Amino acid sequence: MRKLEGIYLVIDPSMEEGKLLHKLESAIDGGIDILQIWNHWAKEAKHEDKLYLIDKITATAAAKNVPVLINEEWQLLKETNLDGVHFDIIPENWTEVRNTIPKEKIIGFTAGNDLERIRWANENEIDYLSFCAMFPSSSAISCEIVKPSTVLLARQITTLPLFLSGGINPENLQSLGLLDFQGVAIISGIMSADNPAKKVKEYKTALAEIKK
């Protein structure tokens, strides 16, 4: 499996298609490392609409070898070229779900301050953990604020790659430098920028600075 680290972009598929793909292309040119499609579809989106847009996104990302994950909807892995799935909630039928997902697919999981969720992920073939949210954010309103001490304790529990998310910008990223993590997950910080490529590079520079 490829190394999981760096800039992890989460995109909103309810955004107007032309605008979404234009900004995504810019972000990919800027050097994002991983991409997730949030399961926030337009209300009128049908199953075939999802497949169409996923195919557009995966084709765009494949040009730069950027893996694409889907949020929650693991069933879509069977019909698309998606590289994996990210779960915010543990599926009730986890054993069945895990046995259905091909071994080569990436599986991520959102953790908060609950260390038991981290232990569960460590024991159940999860490939990485994401902590939401490190800072207050309009795009992470469903997340609790994660204490830095939780991330420190997580590293004592697991060697899995850790991603930090929620309200992170190139400036406040510096305050997280004492934590052992592999990357940052960003939504609005990149997709709301006039020049996503430039913004991605700012994040990459800030991340490289604290990883020296």
Q: Is residue 29 part of a domain?
A: yes
22-72 tens-digit pLDDT: 999 999 999 999 999 999 999 999 999 999 999 999 999 999 999 999 999
Q: Is residue 149 part of a domain?
A: yes
Q: What is the CATH number of the domain that holds 85?
A: 3.20.20.70
Determine the Cα angle at 4 with ends 33 and 1, to 5°: 110
Q: Is residue 27 part of a domain?
A: yes
Q: Is residue 32 part of a domain?
A: yes
The domain tally of the chain equals 1
What's the pLDDT at 199?
Answer: 99
Q: Is residue 52 part of a domain?
A: yes
Q: Is residue 200 part of a domain?
A: no
The kind and range of the H/E element at 152 are: helix 148-157
Residue 10 tokens, joined = 């989460």
Determine the Cα angle at 188 with ends 164 and 2, to 5°: 45
What's the pLDDT at 212?
Answer: 81
Q: Is residue 31 part of a domain?
A: yes
Query: Could you tell me the residue range of the domain that residue 14 belongs to?
Result: 6-195+205-210
The residue that leads in pLDDT, 80 or 140, is: 80
The kind and range of the H/E element at 26 are: helix 17-30
pTM of the model: 0.96
Residue 142 confidence (pLDDT) above 70: yes
